[in-house]
Amino acid sequence: MSEESYVQISWTCGNLDEARQISRLLVEKRLVACANIIPWVESVFLWNGQVDTAQESKVIFKTRRSLFELVKEVILKNAKYELPEILMTPILDGNKEYLDWVEESTRKEISCSFGA
């Protein structure tokens, strides 16, 4: 494992199709090694001064810290939500072989075109 730091990025979107589309794009671009899609979560939140409830999909990406801004850019460019949740959590430690795989899976040259 290198000195690179690793992160999980969580993102919530409006539906499973959107979760799959953007997850595949990020994996194909080698910006993330893996996307775990939780197809259905119920969210309760304040929006425009009102309590609202929505059925959403949750995605958890595994990647390198240095790729966070690019991952965020792709999500913002392709997500349908006006204000998408995009949160980064550091991975402090883990299975060395798994983290080596995350690094290897995200080390190839990245294309500059991030559109879906």
Q: Which domains does the chain have, with CATH numbers?
A: 6-105 (3.30.70.120)
pLDDT in tens, 46-55: 999 999 999 9
Kindly tell me if the per-residue pLDDT of 3 is higher than 90. Answer: no
The pTM of this model reads: 0.89
Q: Region 28-34: what's the mean pLDDT? A: 97
- DSSP 8-state secondary structure symbol assigned to residue 33: S
Kindly tell me if the per-residue pLDDT of 33 is higher than 60. Answer: yes
Kindly tell me if the per-residue pLDDT of 105 is higher than 90. Answer: yes
On whether the CB atoms of residues 74 and 31 are closer than 8 A, the answer is yes
Q: How far apart are CA 17 and CA 53, in angstroms?
A: 20
Q: Region 26-35: what's the mean pLDDT? A: 98
pLDDT in tens, 54-84: 999 999 999 999 999 999 999 999 999 999 9
Greater pLDDT, 115 or 57: 57
Beta bridge partners of 15: none
Average of per-residue pLDDT values in the chain = 92
Residues 6+ positions from 16 with CB-CB distance below 8 Å = 37, 39, 40, 57
On whether the CB atoms of residues 25 and 19 are closer than 8 A, the answer is no
